[in-house]
Amino acid sequence: MSTAAAKQPSDPGDPLPEKVAREAVARGEHSLKSLLELSRDVSTSTDLYATFDLLLLTIMGQFGTSRSALWLLAGAHRESAVLTRSHGFDQPMVKSMVDRCEPVLREQLQRTSAPLLAWRLHPALGPSEFRLLVESEVALFAPLLAEGEVMGWLALGPRLNQLPYDPDDLAILQTALGMVSVSLHNTLLTRRLFESNRQLQSWNAHLEELDRLKTDFLNNVNHEIRTPITVVMASLECLEGVVLNEQARGLLQSALTKSRQLHARLENLLSFSDAINERLPICLKTEDLCALVRAYYEERLPGVTAELREFQCEAPAGLSTVRVDRQRFRQILDQLVDNAVKFTPRGSHIRLDLGCVRHEDRDWIQVTLGDDGPGIPPEQMRSLFKSFEQGDGSSTREVGGLGMGLAFASLLARRMDCLLRARSEVGRGATFELLVPIATLTITAARRPEPSSS
C-alpha cells in the first residue's frame, strides 16, 4: 500500500502528521487483512475461474484500480498466452497488445520474477509495440510463477486516485500473487490428474469390453464351427471303409488330413479360450521328462521330416523327475515344433534337447527347441508371446494360423509353474526354452541319539 498519503482535507482539531500516520497504519492493516482474506479464499476455492475472479477483484479493491486482466500460459510447454479474465480493459486492444509484446514481456517477467511497471518495457519494445502498450492503459504487469517458471501474468490499470504504484505496493502484489500461483498451479495439476484418471478409466472399460467381446467371439466361433467340422470328419472317416479308386482315395485322404488339422486347431482355440477364462484344467503328475520327450520326438519325426526339415533329439536318461500335465506339456511342444516347421524353409534343421540348468537359484529341466531358420526380428521378439500377433500381420501373410500358438504355450507353461522364453538372432535361427521345475521331495532326517558319556 502506498505510503505517499493522498491529499485529505485536514481536521482542524487534529495535527496533520498524526492523521497521516494514522491513515498509513490503517491502510497497512487493510492491506494485511486483504492478503489474509485472499489466502483463505484461494485455499478453499475449488473452481479455477472463481479463483481468477477472486484474485482480480481483491487486487483491484486493494490498489483502487478499475482495470485488471489475467493471462495464463497454456500448452505442454506453456507456449501460448490465454486471456482468462479481464475487468475494465478494452479486451480486443489489450489482447492485441499482449500478443505483440509477449516475447519481451515473457522474457522480462522471467528475468525479474517480480512485478514490472509497464513503462520499464519501453527500451525492449519497438515503437509500435510501445504505442499499443500506452493505448491499452496497462500500468503494470506481475508474473504468476510456478517452480520458478512464469505460468502467467496479471495486468493492472492505473489507480483511480492517480497515485503511482510504489515499491511497497509491488511487494504486496508479489506476495499476493505468490500465494495465488501456488494454488493455481496445484489446481491445474489436480485437474489434469483427474482428467488423466478419467481417460484411463474410460480406456480400461473399453479394453475390458473388447476383451469380453473377443472371448465371446472365440467361444461362439469355436462352437459354431466345431460341430460341423466334427460331422465332416466323421463322414470322411466313414468313407475310409468304402472301396474307392486311387484318385478318390487320394482326395479323401487329403480332405481327412486337413479336416483333422482344422479340428486340432479349433481344439487349441477352445483350450486357449478356456485358459484365458481360467477354466482350463491342469492335472500335474510326476513324470520322467526324458521318456516323455523321446516318445514325443518319435511321434513327430515322420511328419517333420516329411516337410523336409531335419529333426534331431538328445534327451539323456537319468534326469530328475518333474511334475507336469502330460497333455498340456505335449501341447506346448506341439506349438514349438509346429512353429519351427512353419517358419523355417525346407532343408532347415530342428533340434529338441533336454538338459539341466540353474536359474534364479533353482534347478530346472530345460527343454530346448532350436532351429537354424531365418530367426526372429527384434521388434517381433517383444510381442512374441502375445495373442493374435504373428510375424507378418498382413492379410496376405505367407504362413497361415491365428497367431495364438505361442501365447497359448506361454499360458500353459505359466499354469504349470514353468517358464517359456525365446532368443533369436536374425539369420541365425530361433531357440525356445521351456524350463520345468524339478520335483523336490523334502525328507526330514531322524535325529541321531546323543552319544552316552560313559
CB of 3 to other proteins, least distance (A): 13
* Alpha helices, DSSP H, located in 70-166: 91-112, 127-136
Beta bridge partners of 419: 435
Cell of 142: 506481475
DSSP, collapsed to helix, strand or coil, labels residue 357 as: strand
CB of 383 to other proteins, least distance (A): 54
Query: What whole-number distance in Å separates Cα of residue 7 and Cα of residue 11?
Result: 12
CB of 82 to other proteins, least distance (A): 20
Q: Which is nearer to other proteins, 67 or 309 (CB)?
A: 67
**How many angstroms separate the Cα of 11 from the Cα of each of 14, 20, 23, 28, 346?**
5, 11, 13, 21, 113
Only segment of 21-29, 258-266, 332-340, 436-444 that touches other proteins (CB under 8 A): 21-29
**19, 20, 37, 263: residue in contact with other proteins (rule CB under 8 A):** 37
CB of 99 to other proteins, least distance (A): 22
Regarding 232 and contact with other proteins (CB under 8 A), the answer is no
Q: Which is nearer to other proteins, 22 or 258 (CB)?
A: 22
What is the C-alpha radius of gyration for the chain, rounded to an integer number of angstroms? 40
Binding to other proteins (CB under 8 A) within 148-167 occurs at 160-161, 163
Cell of 296: 514325443
CB of 85 to other proteins, least distance (A): 11
What residues have CB less than 8 Å from 43, skipping those under 6 apart?
A: 183
Only segment of 37-45, 233-241, 319-327, 389-397 that touches other proteins (CB under 8 A): 37-45
Q: Which is nearer to other proteins, 6 or 357 (CB)?
A: 6
Q: Which is nearer to other proteins, 51 or 431 (CB)?
A: 51
Pattern 82-121, other proteins, x by CB under 8 A: -----xx---------------------------------
CB of 47 to other proteins, least distance (A): 10
Q: Which is nearer to other proteins, 87 or 294 (CB)?
A: 87
CA 277 to chain centre: 25
Q: Which is nearer to other proteins, 6 or 291 (CB)?
A: 6
CB of 13 to other proteins, least distance (A): 18
DSSP line for 339-355: HHHHTS-TT-EEEEEEE
Element housing 222 (H / E): helix 167-239
Regarding 322 and contact with other proteins (CB under 8 A), the answer is no
What residues have CB less than 8 Å from 424, skipping those under 6 apart?
A: 375, 376, 381, 430, 431
Tell me how long the chain is.
454
Regarding 347 and contact with other proteins (CB under 8 A), the answer is no
SS (H, E, C) 146-183: ECCEEEEEEEECCCCCCCCCCHHHHHHHHHHHHHHHHH
370 close to 310: Cβ distance less than 8 angstroms: no
Residue ranges binding other proteins (CB under 8 A) = 6, 8, 23, 26-27, 30, 33-34, 37-38, 40-41, 44-45, 50, 53-54, 56-62, 64-68, 87-88, 160-161, 163
